[in-house]
C-alpha cells in the first residue's frame, strides 16, 4: 500500500521539496489506485503544500520588486497573512529621502 503524503504533517523544508511532494501527490491521485480516504488525505496535504509554495513565490516576487527599484534595501519577510516590507528602515516616506 502506498505511503500517504498526508501523514507528513511537517511543513516542507524548501520550495523544491514541497513542489516534489506535490508532484508525487498529483501522480498518485492521477493513477486512480487510491481509496476515497487516501484521496481526501492527499488532497488536503496537496492544498497545504500549494499554499506553502504560493507563499514562497509571493515572497520572492516581493524581493524582486525591491531589487528592481534600483537599490538594495533591507527586506523583512513577515509571516503568512502579513505584508512584506521592502522599504529601508527609517525612511517612512519619499519626502524623507535626500536626493544626491
Superfamily in which the 5-70 domain is placed by CATH = Exonuclease VII, small subunit (1.10.287.1040)
Instruction: Reduce the secondary structure of 34-99 to three states and give it as a string.
Output: CCHHHHHHHHHHHHHHHHHHHHHHHHHHHHHHHHHCCCCCCCECCCCCCCCECCCCCCCCHHHCCC
Interatomic CA distance for residues 81 and 9, integer angstroms: 20
Sign, CA dihedral 30-36-37-41, equals positive
Q: Is residue 29 predicted with pLDDT exceeding 70?
A: yes
Q: Does pLDDT of 36 surpass 70?
A: yes
- The rounded distance, in Å, linking the Cα atoms of 60 and 49 is 17
At 80 the pLDDT is: 61
pLDDT at 42 exceeding the cut of 90? yes
Look-up of cell digits 516581493: 62
pLDDT of residue 48: 95
Distance CA(59)–CA(64), nearest Å, equals: 9
49-97 pLDDT, tens per residue?
Answer: 999 999 999 999 888 887 777 766 666 666 665 554 444 444 444 444 4
Report the alpha-carbon distance of residue 62 to residue 97 in Å, rounded: 21
Amino acid at each position: 500500500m502506498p505511503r500517504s503524503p498526508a501523514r507528513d504533517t511537517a511543513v516542507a523544508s524548501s520550495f523544491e521539496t514541497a513542489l516534489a511532494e506535490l508532484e508525487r501527490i498529483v501522480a498518485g491521485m492521477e493513477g486512480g489506485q487510491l481509496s476515497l480516504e487516501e484521496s481526501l488525505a492527499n488532497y488536503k496535504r496537496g492544498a497545504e503544500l500549494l499554499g506553502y509554495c504560493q507563499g514562497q513565490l509571493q515572497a520572492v516576487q516581493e524581493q524582486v520588486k525591491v531589487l528592481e527599484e534600483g537599490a538594495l534595501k533591507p527586506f523583512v519577510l513577515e509571516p503568512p497573512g502579513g505584508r512584506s516590507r521592502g522599504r529601508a528602515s527609517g525612511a517612512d516616506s519619499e519626502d524623507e529621502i535626500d536626493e544626491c
